[in-house]
């Protein structure tokens, strides 16, 4: 039996109906192995939590940044609610140790799939808080764990995707626009891996890999930012 009281203390929510909290961490795969489990998986409650998260963040940005165009606000919001950010929040509250997963999923750590599972569980948790305690308490959670990161996001331009960020910084610092070249492809058609080079002029700055050219370019840009210490 999992003990959720430590998690409740950490997030400062004492659930009236503990099943909401428990359901928020039930992954679909667990029910395949435990069909007798008394709760459904977390996808419906995650659907609700996603909407609650979106409205809380949107309202905050709308009210606090009246001069900022909606295009910029959209980018800021995306940086606060994307799966990478939500997975960071999951780590902060150690949500992973509460997940109900199949044996296969439980072994499969440190992958993109696990990041998505953790991100989805955070959205489901927000949905659970909303169902149990209403918008005020759900909003408190979002402010504490997501909106508190906004200053850092704005200061470091983390709202830009890596390609846009590398381009903006390279134009600002060395007055050069970067470009990408495909260096190679491997694997069968249904499961290709692309390798892409990121260049400034003729200088190769970094190489990236991905299942699409776009993904490989993003990977190269992320590595380029680190390599240049930008």
pLDDT tens for each residue of 130-141: 999 999 999 999
CA proximity to 23, closest of 196, 191, 15, 168: 15
| Residue 46, C-beta contacts closer than 8 angstroms, at least 6 positions apart | 24, 120, 121, 123, 124, 127
Task: State the catalytic residues.
Answer: 50, 123
- Residue 57, pLDDT score: 98
Q: What is the pLDDT of residue 32?
A: 93
> Is 26 found in the same domain as 113?
yes
On whether both 146 and 173 belong to a single domain, the answer is no
The span from the CA of 10 to the CA of 4, in Å, is 10
Q: Grade residue 11 by pLDDT with cuts at 50, 70 and 90.
A: very high
Same domain, 121 and 171: no
Beta carbons within 10 angstroms of residue 202's beta carbon: 5
Beta strands (DSSP E) in the chain are 179-186, 193-200, 203-210
Residues 6+ apart with CB under 8 A from 167: 177, 178
pLDDT for position 2: 85
Total count of domains within the chain: 2
Residue 179 belongs to domain spanning: 162-228
Question: Is the entire prediction scored with pTM above 0.75?
Answer: yes
Q: What confidence tens digit (pLDDT) does each residue in 72-95 have?
A: 999 899 999 999 899 999 999 999
Asked which of 96, 124, 153 is the last residue of a domain, the reply is 153
pLDDT score for 190 = 84
């Amino acid at each position: 039996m999992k003990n959720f009281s430590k998690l409740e203390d950490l997030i400062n929510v004492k659930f009236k109906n503990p099943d909401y909290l428990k359901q928020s961490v039930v992954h679909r795969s667990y029910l395949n192995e435990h069909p007798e489990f008394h709760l459904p998986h977390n996808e419906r409650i995650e659907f609700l939590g996603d909407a609650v998260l979106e409205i809380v963040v949107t309202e905050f940005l709308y009210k606090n940044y009246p001069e900022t165009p909606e295009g910029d606000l959209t980018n800021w919001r995306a940086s606060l609610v994307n799966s990478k950010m939500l997975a960071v929040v999951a780590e902060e509250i150690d949500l992973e140790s509460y997940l109900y997963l199949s044996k296969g999923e439980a072994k499969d750590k440190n992958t993109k799939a696990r990041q998505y599972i953790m991100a989805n569980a955070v959205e489901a948790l927000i949905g659970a808080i909303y169902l149990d305690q209403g918008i005020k308490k759900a909003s408190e959670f979002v402010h504490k764990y997501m909106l508190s990161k906004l200053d850092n996001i704005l200061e470091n331009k983390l709202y830009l995707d890596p390609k846009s960020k590398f381009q903006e910084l390279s134009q600002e610092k060395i007055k050069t626009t970067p470009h990408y070249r495909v260096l190679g492809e491997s694997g069968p058609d249904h499961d290709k891996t692309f390798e892409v080079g990121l260049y400034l002029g003729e200088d190769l700055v970094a190489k990236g890999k991905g299942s699409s050219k776009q993904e490989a370019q993003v990977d190269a840009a992320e590595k380029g930012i680190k390599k240049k210490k930008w």
